[in-house]
Amino acid sequence: MSELVSPFSNPENAEWAVAATRGELLIKHCRSCGENHYYPRAFCPFCQSADTEFLATSGEGEIYSFAITRVLNPVIVHAYVTLQEGPTIMTKIVGVDPDRIAIGQQVRLGFEPSKMGFPMPVFTPVETAQA
Protein backbone atom coordinates (compact mmCIF):
# COMPACT_ATOMS: atom_id res chain seq x y z
CA MET A 1 0.00 0.00 0.00
CA SER A 2 1.13 3.53 -0.78
CA GLU A 3 2.21 5.95 1.93
CA LEU A 4 -0.38 8.54 2.92
CA VAL A 5 0.61 11.82 1.26
CA SER A 6 -1.68 14.05 3.33
CA PRO A 7 -4.16 13.96 6.22
CA PHE A 8 -6.75 14.15 3.45
CA SER A 9 -5.71 10.90 1.87
CA ASN A 10 -6.66 7.63 3.54
CA PRO A 11 -5.95 3.93 3.09
CA GLU A 12 -8.77 3.72 0.56
CA ASN A 13 -7.64 6.53 -1.75
CA ALA A 14 -3.87 6.73 -1.08
CA GLU A 15 -2.99 5.27 -4.48
CA TRP A 16 -5.20 7.90 -6.16
CA ALA A 17 -3.51 10.72 -4.21
CA VAL A 18 0.01 9.43 -4.95
CA ALA A 19 -0.81 9.07 -8.66
CA ALA A 20 -1.88 12.72 -8.67
CA THR A 21 1.63 13.73 -7.57
CA ARG A 22 2.96 12.20 -10.82
CA GLY A 23 0.22 13.80 -12.96
CA GLU A 24 -2.01 10.77 -13.32
CA LEU A 25 -5.75 10.57 -12.64
CA LEU A 26 -6.87 7.19 -11.35
CA ILE A 27 -10.46 6.01 -11.20
CA LYS A 28 -11.75 2.64 -10.00
CA HIS A 29 -12.74 -0.31 -12.19
CA CYS A 30 -14.94 -3.14 -10.95
CA ARG A 31 -13.75 -6.57 -12.01
CA SER A 32 -17.12 -8.03 -11.09
CA CYS A 33 -19.57 -5.91 -13.14
CA GLY A 34 -17.09 -4.10 -15.39
CA GLU A 35 -18.22 -0.59 -14.44
CA ASN A 36 -15.90 2.33 -13.62
CA HIS A 37 -16.57 4.69 -10.74
CA TYR A 38 -15.27 7.88 -9.12
CA TYR A 39 -14.44 8.98 -6.41
CA PRO A 40 -12.42 5.79 -5.85
CA ARG A 41 -13.70 3.55 -3.08
CA ALA A 42 -13.14 0.01 -1.86
CA PHE A 43 -16.55 -1.20 -3.01
CA CYS A 44 -18.22 -0.85 -6.39
CA PRO A 45 -21.29 1.41 -5.94
CA PHE A 46 -23.06 -0.42 -8.79
CA CYS A 47 -22.77 -4.04 -7.59
CA GLN A 48 -21.16 -3.68 -4.10
CA SER A 49 -18.31 -6.01 -5.06
CA ALA A 50 -14.99 -5.50 -3.25
CA ASP A 51 -13.17 -6.81 -6.33
CA THR A 52 -12.14 -3.37 -7.61
CA GLU A 53 -8.88 -2.05 -9.05
CA PHE A 54 -7.43 1.34 -9.92
CA LEU A 55 -7.52 2.32 -13.58
CA ALA A 56 -5.38 5.03 -15.19
CA THR A 57 -7.40 7.46 -17.29
CA SER A 58 -6.54 8.93 -20.68
CA GLY A 59 -7.10 12.46 -19.40
CA GLU A 60 -9.65 13.17 -22.15
CA GLY A 61 -13.13 14.34 -21.30
CA GLU A 62 -16.08 16.58 -22.10
CA ILE A 63 -17.67 19.40 -20.09
CA TYR A 64 -21.02 18.21 -18.67
CA SER A 65 -21.79 21.45 -16.86
CA PHE A 66 -19.98 24.39 -15.30
CA ALA A 67 -20.49 27.47 -13.15
CA ILE A 68 -18.38 30.63 -13.17
CA THR A 69 -18.18 31.35 -9.46
CA ARG A 70 -17.57 35.10 -9.61
CA VAL A 71 -18.01 35.79 -5.90
CA LEU A 72 -14.70 34.05 -5.22
CA ASN A 73 -11.46 35.94 -5.69
CA PRO A 74 -9.88 34.75 -7.89
CA VAL A 75 -12.89 33.58 -9.90
CA ILE A 76 -13.16 29.78 -10.09
CA VAL A 77 -14.84 27.88 -12.92
CA HIS A 78 -16.42 24.88 -11.21
CA ALA A 79 -17.35 22.03 -13.49
CA TYR A 80 -18.41 18.46 -14.02
CA VAL A 81 -16.36 16.71 -16.69
CA THR A 82 -17.38 13.36 -18.17
CA LEU A 83 -14.26 11.26 -18.61
CA GLN A 84 -13.72 9.16 -21.72
CA GLU A 85 -13.75 6.17 -19.32
CA GLY A 86 -17.31 6.95 -18.17
CA PRO A 87 -17.58 8.67 -14.81
CA THR A 88 -18.52 12.34 -14.56
CA ILE A 89 -16.33 14.02 -11.96
CA MET A 90 -16.32 17.30 -10.05
CA THR A 91 -13.40 19.49 -11.12
CA LYS A 92 -12.36 22.97 -12.30
CA ILE A 93 -11.75 24.42 -15.75
CA VAL A 94 -8.51 26.43 -15.91
CA GLY A 95 -6.27 28.18 -18.42
CA VAL A 96 -9.06 29.75 -20.49
CA ASP A 97 -11.19 32.90 -20.46
CA PRO A 98 -14.30 31.77 -18.51
CA ASP A 99 -16.58 33.42 -21.05
CA ARG A 100 -15.25 31.07 -23.78
CA ILE A 101 -16.24 27.89 -21.95
CA ALA A 102 -19.25 25.87 -23.13
CA ILE A 103 -20.98 22.64 -22.23
CA GLY A 104 -19.86 19.87 -24.59
CA GLN A 105 -16.33 21.22 -25.09
CA GLN A 106 -13.56 18.61 -25.21
CA VAL A 107 -11.11 19.07 -22.36
CA ARG A 108 -7.75 17.63 -21.32
CA LEU A 109 -6.44 16.80 -17.87
CA GLY A 110 -3.94 18.85 -15.93
CA PHE A 111 -3.05 19.15 -12.25
CA GLU A 112 -3.03 22.07 -9.85
CA PRO A 113 -1.56 22.32 -6.34
CA SER A 114 -4.20 22.13 -3.61
CA LYS A 115 -4.58 22.74 0.10
CA MET A 116 -4.82 18.95 0.57
CA GLY A 117 -1.09 18.41 0.20
CA PHE A 118 -1.42 16.67 -3.18
CA PRO A 119 -2.38 18.09 -6.60
CA MET A 120 -5.95 17.95 -7.83
CA PRO A 121 -7.16 17.17 -11.35
CA VAL A 122 -8.30 20.17 -13.41
CA PHE A 123 -9.15 20.47 -17.10
CA THR A 124 -8.48 22.84 -20.01
CA PRO A 125 -10.42 23.00 -23.30
CA VAL A 126 -8.43 21.20 -26.00
CA GLU A 127 -8.63 24.01 -28.56
CA THR A 128 -7.26 26.53 -26.09
CA ALA A 129 -4.48 24.19 -25.06
CA GLN A 130 -3.39 23.79 -28.69
CA ALA A 131 -3.64 27.52 -29.51
Partner 1 sequence: MTIRDKAYIVGAFEHPTRKADGISLAQLHAEVALGAMADAGITADMIDGYFYSGDAPGFGAFTIPEYLGLNIRHLDGTDIGGSSYIAHVSHAAQAIAAGKCSVALIAMAGRPRAAKVPIEVDLAFLNNPNIPEVPSEFPYDLLPVSGYAMVAARHMHEHGTTSEQLAWIKVAASHHAQHNPHAMLRQVVTVEDVVNSPMVADPLHRLDCCVVSDGGGAVIVAAPEIARNLKRPLVAVRGGGESVKGLNGGRFDILTSAGVASGNAAFEEAGVARSDIKYASIYDSFTITVLMHLEDLGFCEKGRGGAFVSDGNLISGVGRLPINTDGGGLCNNHPANRGGITKIIEAVRQLRGEAHPAVQVPGCDLALAHGTGGSLGVRHGSATLILERQ
Cβ density class 34-51: b for 16+ within 10 Å, e for less: ebbbbebeeebeeeeeee
Q: Taking the chain, what is the end-to-end CA distance rounded to the nearest angstrom?
A: 41
In the complex, the residues that contact partner 1 under the rule CB under 8 A are 7-10, 12-13, 16-17, 27, 35-41, 44-46, 64-72, 76, 78-80, 83, 86-92, 98, 103-104, 114-116, 120
- In the complex, what is the shortest distance from the CB of residue 114 to Zn ion, in angstroms, rounded to a whole number? 29
Q: Which is nearer to Zn ion, 52 or 105 (CB)?
A: 52
Largest CA distance in the chain: 45
Q: Which is nearer to Zn ion, 38 or 66 (CB)?
A: 38
- In the complex, what is the shortest distance from the CB of residue 43 to Zn ion, in angstroms, rounded to a whole number? 8
Identify which range of 17-25, 36-44, 66-74, 112-120 contacts Zn ion by CB under 5 A: 36-44
Helix (H) or strand (E) holding 20: helix 14-21
